[in-house]
Amino acid sequence: MQQDLNTRRIEAFSDGIFSIAITLLVLEIKVPSADMVQRHGLALSLIYIWPSYLAYIISFATILVIWAHHHWVYSAIKKSDLKLIYWNGLLLLFVTFVPFPTGLLAEYLLHSEAKVATSLYTGTFLAISLSFHGLWRHASANEKLLGSETKNATRITYHYRLAPIFYFASFISSFYSEATGIALCLLSALYFAVGGWPRS
Amino acid sequence: MQQDLNTRRIEAFSDGIFSIAITLLVLEIKVPSADMVQRHGLALSLIYIWPSYLAYIISFATILVIWAHHHWVYSAIKKSDLKLIYWNGLLLLFVTFVPFPTGLLAEYLLHSEAKVATSLYTGTFLAISLSFHGLWRHASANEKLLGSETKNATRITYHYRLAPIFYFASFISSFYSEATGIALCLLSALYFAVGGWPRS
Amino acid sequence: MQQDLNTRRIEAFSDGIFSIAITLLVLEIKVPSADMVQRHGLALSLIYIWPSYLAYIISFATILVIWAHHHWVYSAIKKSDLKLIYWNGLLLLFVTFVPFPTGLLAEYLLHSEAKVATSLYTGTFLAISLSFHGLWRHASANEKLLGSETKNATRITYHYRLAPIFYFASFISSFYSEATGIALCLLSALYFAVGGWPRS
Amino acid sequence: MQQDLNTRRIEAFSDGIFSIAITLLVLEIKVPSADMVQRHGLALSLIYIWPSYLAYIISFATILVIWAHHHWVYSAIKKSDLKLIYWNGLLLLFVTFVPFPTGLLAEYLLHSEAKVATSLYTGTFLAISLSFHGLWRHASANEKLLGSETKNATRITYHYRLAPIFYFASFISSFYSEATGIALCLLSALYFAVGGWPRS
């Protein structure tokens, strides 16, 4: 079984879920209501829903970065076991969940309770980074799962180790200021897209 | 034809459907209405919709487990015939249906008629386990379809044979208590994720 | 270019679209409204929406059959050219359209204007069968596109040639009786799943 | 890392996103409301929503053409680097966005503010063509990324270079006439499907 559920199949299934979750995000951008358009005109209405675009872009960038790191990590993992499958399943559970807090943030960012929406949003990314961390810890602690590219492996540990810290900071700051929480969330995505990338 | 519609292609098509069905589940978690938020605040509203999260998690876990078992079974099946394609098609029909009873359960779990919603929910998983059982019975009764890994095959028969019994119990108990039906459904997913797994 | 856009890639892209279109069908089954449930109870409400289930099953079966035939035809096609890509694109245009007439039929089958909804529904499958026919005519008229399996090819021509006739009958009868139109549509799917299948 | 995130994986991920985005378009065609059907009848209601069909067809054709060109370009690109991944990510961001302006155009094409909806629609395709152009410029300026098929590469540069100009014209004309903007958008898709295709 373990040999059959090899990493190639898990990667293909995960890729499918990543690409669908990232494409479903657009469904959370709602066409402005007839009522809103009558009051403000279509052009202004399209500008007023800017939180939808912001939430769309941050979620898109973050899932894209996670997908890239997922591929990178799996290029070092050569074998799979049950625990790895569960860590991966937990990661996918949170990734497919992303469209919900994205839609929530789009609708409530300009609302008096924006902090609640932002906390769920950043909290989801914190959960993603923690399950990703768990996945990597389990794989790197287990010599049988890794291939011989130990050097690469060490570098991965170093870089992505920071993700839970970044998203924890983003999550905590959401309770005090939605703008800070979202800014940290966007900066984290940019950091792991650029700075957290291995130089081969 | 039979050789052309080989198991690799059926697996790829099935994988696509599994990964889309599992990702569509999140669309059944609805952003709380403006009316509800005005009455209870956003934080409480997000807690009040806990049946959505519960239904999401159980459906996600169950589809993930079915996907893993599907892969496992297909690693033993080497050839395909018409009947196998129909059993697989029936299985996929019920798998793609899952988002509907999931959404129904999310909306009616706290309603006075929760038992009806729970019965449809658990009944869908019963139908999945039965069509999975039919798929396996047909393949294992047919020497031409299986490869030489007969030992593995026997173990698969043993383990997954229990699934229809588990889900039948879950379905029947739904008529008396929604909590019991759902608990059995969740426990079944956990059992087949852990205990029903082959030790190679 | 022609060599690069080979049939393997076209098949993979088409498979993706088939599997997504077939999974989106479930979104057309709407959870019964609170108003309807208050009047009839949840159990009866779930029975009253039987047109949704019927439309779901027929559309699912039809797309599954088209997918199987698409694979079968492409197992005979070895090369691709521009016209083949356009015929395939036209076929995919109609396949991705299926969720719309499916939702329309689900909502208007018990309405006084059911014939209109049924005509669009059966008309969509007529369009699919015609574009499939065009795809095959172009490939079979063009020796360069087919591999050496001419025998198989001839048998395919014979069987699927009937599809546009079947769906034309279904489409025409929809104007007089929605029940006849839908029954013919379902029977056509069954026929091409069983009788229209090559015996190798 | 760069070697691991090879073009095959990027293509598979991009293909997934292209096929999902193209299939989600149909969700923007809404079943006519009960109110509209009561006033005009179902047949007329289905005709009145013709902007939905038009937007669906243009978006479908355009994404299909972009997908074909994406494959064509990637058949010349042999290696990937960070910048290429970002250009590709930007392209995918705009491609997954397409269902939103498509739904907007469907709803507001017959509205007094149709020009606004058309501008966002054509502007999205302008953004797609620009990011596609950026992707190609980066790849073609970088000898390491391209394989030895330089001749093909030169021809690609020539043809697709026109896309941003076409879509810029379409975008600008949208501010003066929605019909012109949309017609140019449709003609561009047709041109790049036929004329912009390499003759090998």
- Check residue D18 and give its pLDDT: 94
Within 64-83 of C, beta carbons closer than 8 Å to D belong to 82
pLDDT band at C34 (very low <50, low <70, confident <90, very high): confident
**Chain C residues inside the 8 Å CB shell of D57:** 93
The one-letter code for the residue type at A182 is I
Would you say residue A2 lies in a domain? no
The answer to whether the Cβ–Cβ distance between A116 and B57 falls below 8 Å is: no
B neighbours by CB contacts (3+ pairs under 8 Å): A, C
Torsion sign (Cα): C19, C25, C27, C32: negative
Residues 6+ apart with CB under 8 A from A89: B61, B64
- Alpha-carbon gap, residue A175 to D53, rounded angstroms: 45
Minimal CA separation from B26 to chain A, in Å: 6
The one-letter code for the residue type at B149 is E
B175: tokens are: 């008529």
For residue C174, the enclosing domain spans 7-194
Cβ atoms of residues B16 and C15 within 8 Å: yes
The mean per-residue pLDDT over the stretch C46-73 comes to: 92
Minimal CA separation from B96 to chain C, in Å: 5
Nearest residue of chain B to residue A116 (CA atoms):
B43
Say which of B19, B67, B72 has its CB closest to residue A1.
B72
Phi, psi torsion values for B77, nearest 5 degrees = -80, 125
Helices D114-140 and D178-194 cross at an angle (nearest 10°) of 30
Nearest residue of chain A to residue D14 (CA atoms):
A19
Torsion sign (Cα): D35, D40, D46, D48: negative
Residue of B19, B57, B78, B155 to mutate when probing chain A, most A C-beta within 10 A: B19
SS (H, E, C) B12-30: HHHHHHHHHHHHHHHHHCC
Residues 6+ apart with CB under 8 A from C5: C80, C85, D68, D71, D72
- Number of structural domains chain D divides into: 1
Would you say residue D1 lies in a domain? no
Residues 6+ apart with CB under 8 A from B195: none
- Check residue D125 and give its pLDDT: 96
Work out how many CB contacts closer than 8 A connect A with D: 80
Nearest residue of chain B to residue A89 (CA atoms):
B64
Residue of C23, C65, C71, C160 to mutate when probing chain B, most B C-beta within 10 A: C23
What pTM did the predictor assign?
Answer: 0.90
Q: In terms of Cα–Cα distance, which of A118, A104, A98, A91 is closest to A20? A: A98
The answer to whether the Cβ–Cβ distance between D100 and A31 falls below 8 Å is: yes
The mean per-residue pLDDT over the stretch C12-16 comes to: 89
Would you say residue A127 lies in a domain? yes
The answer to whether the Cβ–Cβ distance between A1 and B197 falls below 8 Å is: yes
- Check residue B23 and give its pLDDT: 94
The answer to whether the Cβ–Cβ distance between A26 and D24 falls below 8 Å is: yes
Residues of chain D below pLDDT 70: 1-6, 143-144, 147-160, 195-200
Cβ atoms of residues B55 and B105 within 8 Å: yes
B60: tokens are: 């996600």
Task: Reduce the DSSP state of residue C107 to 3 states and report it.
Answer: helix
Cβ atoms of residues D13 and A18 within 8 Å: yes
Divide the 200 residues of chain B into consecutive groups of 10 and give the mean pLDDT of each group.
Answer: 60 90 94 90 93 95 90 80 87 96 94 93 96 88 68 59 90 94 92 64
Residues 6+ apart with CB under 8 A from D54: D109, D182
Higher pLDDT, A159 or A172: A172
Q: In this predicted structure, which of A61-65, A68-72, B125-129, C186-190 has the lowest mean pLDDT?
A: A68-72
Q: To the nearest 10°, the Cα dihedral for C160, C164, C166, C170?
A: 150
Interface membership of C192 toward B (CB under 8 Å): no
Say which of D22, D46, D193 has its CB closest to residue C96.
D22
- Alpha-carbon gap, residue B48 to B34, rounded angstroms: 14
Would you say residue A80 lies in a domain? yes
Would you say residue D199 lies in a domain? no
Residue of D3, D20, D111 to mutate when probing chain A, most A C-beta within 10 A: D20
Would you say residue B12 lies in a domain? yes
pLDDT band at A107 (very low <50, low <70, confident <90, very high): very high
